[in-house]
Structure 1
Amino acid sequence: MATATTSRAARIEVHGTVQGVGFRPFVYRLATAMGLAGDVRNAGGHVEIRVRGADPELAALSDRLVAEAPPAARISRLLVTDLPATTVPEAGFRVVASGAATGAVPEVPPDLATCAACVRELFDPADRRHRYPFLNCADCGPRATVIEDLPYDRARTTMSRFPMCSACRAEYLDPANRRFHAEPIACADCGPRLAWHPAGADEPADVGVDALAAAEDAIARGGLVAVKGIGGYQLVCDASAEAALTRLRAAKHRPGKPFAIMVGDLRAADRLVPLDEEAAALLGSPARPVVLLPRRDHAPVAAAVAPNLPVLGVFLPYSPLHHLLLADLARPLVVTSGNRSGEPIATEDRPALTRLGPLTDGVLAHDRPITARYDDSVCRVVAGRPTTVRRARGYAPAPRTLPVPSPRPLLAVGGHLKNTVTLVDGDHAVLGPHVGDLADADTLDAFHETIRQLTRLHAVDPDVVVHDAHPGYLSSQYARRRPASRRLAVQHHHAHVAATAAEHGLRGPFLGVAYDGLGLGDDGTLWGGEILLASLTGYRRVGRFGRAPLPGGEAAVRRPARTALGYLLGAEPLGSPAPELPADGPLGRLPRGEVELVRRMIDRGVNCPPASSAGRLFDAVACLLGLGGAVSYEGEAAVRLEAAAHGRGDLRALAWRLVRRDGLWVYDPLPTLRDVLTASREAPVAEVAARFHTAVAEATAALVEQAAAATGVRTVCLGGGVFQNQRLTRLVLDRLAALDLTTHLPGQVPTNDGGLSFGQAAVAAAVLTGG
């Protein structure tokens, strides 16, 4: 220990995700081992350390705080300031009561999957928490879903309703214990309890271990059960039970969209999907996302889990309750959000009993309230790179850093589909959890509640609201309640590529490739297949896909047969002859009246908005190949088209062509579509689907090559929901690499509309700063 004459005192502020991740116990153990005096506390959203020691020791402490931090911690910065030596005791180190915020933006830690030590206790008959469904420690357990206010202390969580028993309190106060200051600490004597409500029962029939046994019995008999999870209710059934899955699809109004499968461990996952190093690391990470992976032949799950798709969404248990269900039932389980399609996930007990009870064989509830709604995150590995499809539990609301700090607090409210919101203070951007499609009053209420929670917990009062340029989006209408001086519109596709750029710390210039379904363009048409010369402050369109009308507008999105007719009967004239309408195949089987109606709509320009959309071109080709004339969820036809090409190599491209039009390079889709129709008469659908992907990748590379040659810019950012397509993304990356271009793909931020709010925030921050 340093002597009084050589010691000095300092305050170390540690900012980042440092609350709810075991950081104070870590500091206590580290400082004590180093013989340093002082204390540590939560202060607002950061951790504040007061310490006394010699200069070399204080420097070593700062280094070790970063190098040896708990796995779930994320340190964004350390601020070290001198203190009068007399303000810090000369001996002893303590964890002291939390203090108020001091101006820094508080951070809410994401929920953490049950750690290995807690899993061992869960199944140890000699442990006092044996089979207790709510055990946790400083390294794991609920965080964002139980926090009511900051700083993060038990009194400001939903666990304040459960006074600790003497045994738990002794662990909580013991610096040598893994549960030292673990705020959600509990056991069977003092913590939450399970309750089983059989179908039709308002009051529980069983509690505790009997409740779990009753729910497991229902699932084992092929039933469907609603289970209260970490961030909301979930619907659970045996993944091999076709009848249960048929019932689940009817209950959720979800006829075709695949379900996620939960398995007990990596060995069980490997029986369903092949695991490489990247996939295993994602599955086993503290976030425990659903990971989309190729399905093994003869995987022991029902076909109805993912109808006609070669990919399964697999994840591992992330709560003690999930671990118990998987261990006791010893089979893969479908675990999906507890809602009907388009509705937000149920989080409160009474609405869950009302809405989900009649659809199931029973509801397994518990008495720990959920403060914030969090769905499961979804990821996949593309070209060896982990990417995020849905950013929710385990990732949100961990912040991201913007390349350009905003001079004013911002709230970016995203788009209409896969909505998220992002809250910004300076360079600190909090990307909130997945809200969903703003299609009904309940989801809109969830959108408003998410905004209220984020702004309150993070203590940020937004001065400017950032929104999509489309005035019809409900999120845009929310923003437009503000005066013009306090809102900012960002074009949809600029936001997509800006999100990718900002995630990688880029300001621009860069070439943005924005491929998605639809977004309102500057010229009043619908965009979706765009090449942009961009920076965070602006963009110029330099390339695009050829346009085609969407007969019926939104109706064509739900019915790709109409989209295909739009291309064949009314595509933008770019010099290529349109293919003749086939007399057979999917379009040949359409009612003649519908075809003639669409033809008249196109000829007269009635409700046929033109779109240069990559996503809609994928829909049209899927229809022409017999993979779906109608869809039950957004993107379904494109998913089927990618699935059809699964297992095929990098085949020769179908025909494609670029033309120059109005100063832009334009991909003319008609030669490709003509080749689709010709090739499909002789070749298997799988081959044609694979060759179509190659054609789009080659056309994309050619568009980017022309843009790079004209501008000298050789950095490329991909964005938009079409880049969820693993095959297309890999082909595009390969071809851009062959052109010696540096290409960036979204990773932590979703490439689909779930990343729009982050891109909007990055653009607004740069624009308000002036570049």
Structure 2
Amino acid sequence: MEVLTRKHVRVTGIVQGVGFRPFVFSLATGLGLAGRVGNDARGVFIEVEGAASKVDRFLHGLREHAPPLAAVTGVVVADAPTTAEAGFRIVDSEAAGPCATFVSADSATCAECLDEVGDPRDRRFGYPFTNCTNCGPRFTIVEDVPYDRPNTTMSGFALCTRCATEYRDPGNRRFHAQPVCCPDCGPQLRLTDSKGDPRPGDALDEAAAVLARGGVLAVKGLGGFHLAVDATDENAAAALRERKHRDGKPFAVMAGSLDQVRALCAVNDAELAALTSRRRPIVVLDRLPGARVAPSVAPGNRRLGVMLAYTPLHHLLLGRFPRPVVLTSGNVSDEPIAYRDDDARHRLGSIADAFLTHDRPIHTRTDDSVVRVVEGREMAIRRSRGYAPEPVTVPWRFPSQVLACGAELKNTFAVAKNEDVFVSHHIGDLKNLETLRSFTTGIAHFRRLFDIEPEVVAHDLHPEYLSTKYAADLDDVELVGVQHHHAHIASCLADNGEPGPVLGVAFDGTGYGDDGTIWGGEFLAADLTGFRRLAHLEPVPLPGGATAIRQPWRTAVAYLDEYGPPPADLDVLRRNPDWTAVSALLRRNGHSPLTSSAGRLFDAVASVLGVRDAIDYEGQAAIELEQIADTGEPGGYPVSIGTGPVLHVRGADLVRSVVDDLRAGTPVPVIAARFHNGLAVAVAEVCVRLRESTGIGVVALSGGVFQNVLLLQRLTPMLERRGFRTLLHSQVPANDGGISLGQAAVAGALCRARR
């Protein structure tokens, strides 16, 4: 007989609320091993005893056969004295000790639960809150760790006898599924009017009837309220746009099946994988010609953001309504998503005709995530539901615990310790009290969940950002200011698990430069500890400052002025007769700050071409310029690159070529493509010159401009042909939603350098 051995095992990662303990129980009992397994604040602890060969097989199986929602990041094994223990058991959770476990993200309903919801013989038939250890709400209902029912918003729902039996049975897939419930003991669905008064009839049937009549329906989802209308009904979509005060930004569409998605958009294998993943993000797809979708859903946009139903409630609603629906965040423009019933009625009462809601509380509001697939690789545009708060794990250690406060727009924050950076869900633009409250309460929640007591707090250099002011008000912490574009490049490095150095190309709309000007078209030699500005777009004045961001025609005037008095016969100037006053403003000190922003260059070209003179949301002009470009056009405009210690890239050359072609009658889609192509060539040429002076052969691309797929598809092959290795984002967005990761990475690197 083999000698008995006993091991103490510590498993860390996403191992709570994902069926890990029943998995361990099944693995151990299948091998005839004895011992115990339980949860604590650090993860999962195991004592296992038996023949040495079987214990080895057990340890191998922990990693290789973990449940679908688990993510094992560490397995630490230590010898323990044998006890001749009989049998294997699951023990109660232990709450003591520092928190080191992870919290899993919300997960789309699994196939087994959907089968039950659709089976008239099953006791959960038609129940909109069905879930198990392999699916359902997680992060949005968690109040504290360890992840047990009393620490979730399900604590107020006492289990009925049958659910309690499932919950306690290690052989059942609902064993310790904390949100487990059924029609007898769980949350209940109801349809109300804007005052909260119940509407008669079956809630789902009546909700579908609201959609069929062209009404606006507010739907309480996993992370907050959505607003829904029939995606094929132009009157309904236009009414929603008007009531929500959302003039141009596209709406997302939810489909009840892949057949519905394929009727709207072209879908490749990588996009299909993203659509059907447990995360169920909105995936930006190419719209098919003639797709049956109302024009007001995504006006002027040849792409469509589409997601599949991801909760039983969505499946049941779309099972009663035969067409795709618009499903957009339940808010008024620029406000955070509503997630409490009373707040939703207050803020959405003038928008929604009815409310499909329920009594399961949401602890953390969480927007839908948005991704695009570029060359087979998923790239985040907004990282939130389904992804947060799962960490970005990096190949270096944080010697101090870090809080990174993020940027002003598209804000996320992050907390970091050991090798993990927990990037928050999407917070939004820190413009109003409610968003700021979401930011501050979110930080407090993450600090509690991940047992973080920040010693170092990283922030943007801009003194007026609310995130910067929040950092400055904290006591007993070391403050680390991180330049905005350095944070972008550091974010790309952390996203790829690389320390640098790289040639970082950071193109975005606005960032506070360390010379006091507005940066945004930057070429940096950077690693995680610092950077040097080696080249940038040649600065132009921004007439009226922030007003020019909202009115791209003003930036067009500034670029046209670079070659002398703007030609008054251009359509952009005819459309905007105040251009003479704006031109005069360029010469007044204090009214036209200098900017090297690539985003403003895109704005100027979009306005000159008649695409967009004023914007309704950030990046709109650039997005629409990309939309109209002729992707088959190979030509590009030349750009002069100055010499000297810091290279200047003359963006005005591109604008001048745009004007020349426009006057020559060249089609606007061709001009838009030549602009993109010319800029890509200029970026590649600057990188070649900088490699000659630095010896650096790796390029990192970051900033919101690099969410432009056409630019990426032109630029990355050029860099590869010139012998560069190129780093792109995937886990966090290239836009300001990834800034917090970069800030945390810089702060950690500076701490390591000091030690």
What range describes the TM-score normalised by the shorter chain of this pair? over 0.9
Which residue number corresponds to residue 746 of structure 1?
Answer: 729
Q: 2:215 & 2:26 partners in 1: Cα distance?
A: 48
What CA deviation, in whole Å up to 9, does each residue of 1:690-748 have, x standing for no partner? 11110110000011111111111111111100011011011111110111111010001
Matched, 1:345 2:329: no
Residue 105 of structure 1 aligns with an amino acid whose one-letter code is: A
Alignment of 1:163-182 (within 5 A): 163-182=158-177
Give secondary structure in 2 for the equivalent of 1:541.
strand
Deviation at 1:74, TM superposition (A): 1.2
Deviation at 1:634, TM superposition (A): 0.3
Which residue number corresponds to residue 603 of structure 1?
Answer: 587
Q: Which runs of 5+ in 2 are unaligned?
A: none
Deviation at 1:484, TM superposition (A): 8.7
Task: Please say which of residues 128-137 and 267-276 is displaced more in the overlay.
Answer: 267-276
Percent of residue pairs identical: 47
Which residue number corresponds to residue 606 of structure 2?
Answer: 622
Deviation at 1:688, TM superposition (A): 0.6
Task: Please say which of residues 284-293 and 155-164 is displaced more in the overlay.
Answer: 155-164
Which residue number corresponds to residue 179 of structure 2?
Answer: 184
Which residue number corresponds to residue 140 of structure 1?
Answer: 135
Query: Does the CA-based 8 Å contact 2:205-2:320 persist in structure 1?
Result: no
Which residue number corresponds to residue 196 of structure 1?
Answer: 191
Alignment of 1:260-409 (within 5 A): 260-409=252-401
Q: 2:342 & 2:570 partners in 1: Cα distance?
A: 53
Q: 2:223 & 2:42 partners in 1: Cα distance?
A: 21
Give secondary structure in 1 for the equivalent of 2:94.
coil
**2:567 aligned residue (556, 581, 591):** 581
Matched, 1:677 2:659: yes
Deviation at 1:102, TM superposition (A): 4.0
Deviation at 1:485, TM superposition (A): 5.8
Which residue number corresponds to residue 648 of structure 2?
Answer: 666
Q: 1:113 & 1:381 partners in 2: Cα distance?
A: 20
**1:503 aligned residue (477, 495, 503):** 495
What CA deviation, in whole Å up to 9, does each residue of 1:512-539 have, x standing for no partner? 1100001011111111111100010000
Structure 2 length normalisation: TM-score?
0.98
Matched, 1:758 2:752: no
Task: Please say which of residues 41-50 and 107-116 is displaced more in the overlay.
Answer: 41-50
Q: Which runs of 5+ in 1 are unaligned?
A: 572-576
Matched, 1:590 2:609: no
Deviation at 1:22, TM superposition (A): 1.6
Give secondary structure in 1 for the equivalent of 2:641.
strand
Residue 535 of structure 1 aligns with an amino acid whose one-letter code is: D
Residue 221 of structure 2 aligns with an amino acid whose one-letter code is: G
Alignment of 1:326-725 (within 5 A): 326-482=318-474, 486-569=478-561, 571=562, 577-578=563-564, 580-591=566-577, 594-645=578-629, 648-661=631-644, 663-681=645-663, 682-725=665-708
Query: Does the CA-based 8 Å contact 1:404-1:762 persist in structure 2?
Result: no
Q: 1:331 & 1:319 partners in 2: Cα distance?
A: 17
What CA deviation, in whole Å up to 9, does each residue of 1:637-676 have, x standing for no partner? 000000011x522521022221124x11221112211110
Query: Does the CA-based 8 Å contact 1:348-1:369 persist in structure 2?
Result: yes
Q: 2:744 & 2:685 partners in 1: Cα distance?
A: 31
Q: 1:193 & 1:483 partners in 2: Cα distance?
A: 44
Query: Does the CA-based 8 Å contact 1:579-1:670 persist in structure 2?
Result: no
Query: Does the CA-based 8 Å contact 1:419-1:754 persist in structure 2?
Result: yes
Which residue number corresponds to residue 22 of structure 2?
Answer: 25
Query: Does the CA-based 8 Å contact 1:45-1:101 persist in structure 2?
Result: no
Task: Please say which of residues 304-313 and 598-607 is displaced more in the overlay.
Answer: 598-607
Residue 614 of structure 1 aligns with an amino acid whose one-letter code is: A
Deviation at 1:98, TM superposition (A): 0.6
Give secondary structure in 1 for the equivalent of 2:202.
helix
Q: 2:171 & 2:474 partners in 1: Cα distance?
A: 52
Deviation at 1:20, TM superposition (A): 1.8
Query: Does the CA-based 8 Å contact 2:99-2:145 persist in structure 1?
Result: no
Task: Please say which of residues 493-502 and 21-30 is displaced more in the overlay.
Answer: 21-30
What is the RMSD of the two structures over their aligned residues, measured on CA atoms? 1.5
Give secondary structure in 1 for the equivalent of 2:9.
strand
Residue 46 of structure 1 aligns with an amino acid whose one-letter code is: G
Deviation at 1:678, TM superposition (A): 1.2
Which residue number corresponds to residue 767 of structure 1?
Answer: 750
Deviation at 1:358, TM superposition (A): 2.6
Give secondary structure in 1 for the equivalent of 2:520.
strand
Q: 1:750 & 1:55 partners in 2: Cα distance?
A: 46
Query: Does the CA-based 8 Å contact 1:527-1:612 persist in structure 2?
Result: yes
Task: Please say which of residues 13-22 and 392-401 is displaced more in the overlay.
Answer: 13-22
Task: Please say which of residues 256-265 and 70-79 is displaced more in the overlay.
Answer: 70-79
Q: 2:576 & 2:63 partners in 1: Cα distance?
A: 64
Query: Does the CA-based 8 Å contact 2:383-2:425 persist in structure 1?
Result: yes
Q: 1:485 & 1:459 partners in 2: Cα distance?
A: 16
Query: Does the CA-based 8 Å contact 1:721-1:751 persist in structure 2?
Result: yes
Query: Does the CA-based 8 Å contact 1:717-1:744 persist in structure 2?
Result: yes
Deviation at 1:217, TM superposition (A): 1.0
- How many residue pairs match? The answer is 753
Displaced runs of 4 or more, over 6 A: none
What CA deviation, in whole Å up to 9, does each residue of 1:391-447 have, x standing for no partner? 000000001123432221111010000000000112221001000000111111111
Query: Does the CA-based 8 Å contact 2:415-2:422 persist in structure 1?
Result: yes
Deviation at 1:584, TM superposition (A): 2.9
Q: 2:4 & 2:422 partners in 1: Cα distance?
A: 39
Give secondary structure in 2 for the equivalent of 1:604.
coil
Q: 1:293 & 1:359 partners in 2: Cα distance?
A: 28
**1:249 aligned residue (218, 238, 241):** 241
Residue 205 of structure 1 aligns with an amino acid whose one-letter code is: R
Deviation at 1:133, TM superposition (A): 0.2
Q: 1:539 & 1:265 partners in 2: Cα distance?
A: 48
Deviation at 1:204, TM superposition (A): 2.2
What CA deviation, in whole Å up to 9, does each residue of 1:147-203 have, x standing for no partner? 11111111211111111111111111222222121111111011000121124x333
Query: Does the CA-based 8 Å contact 1:19-1:45 persist in structure 2?
Result: no
Query: Does the CA-based 8 Å contact 1:9-1:51 persist in structure 2?
Result: yes
Q: 1:507 & 1:466 partners in 2: Cα distance?
A: 18
Q: 1:483 & 1:210 partners in 2: Cα distance?
A: 54
Deviation at 1:483, TM superposition (A): 5.6
Q: 2:493 & 2:212 partners in 1: Cα distance?
A: 48
Give secondary structure in 2 for the equivalent of 1:70.
coil
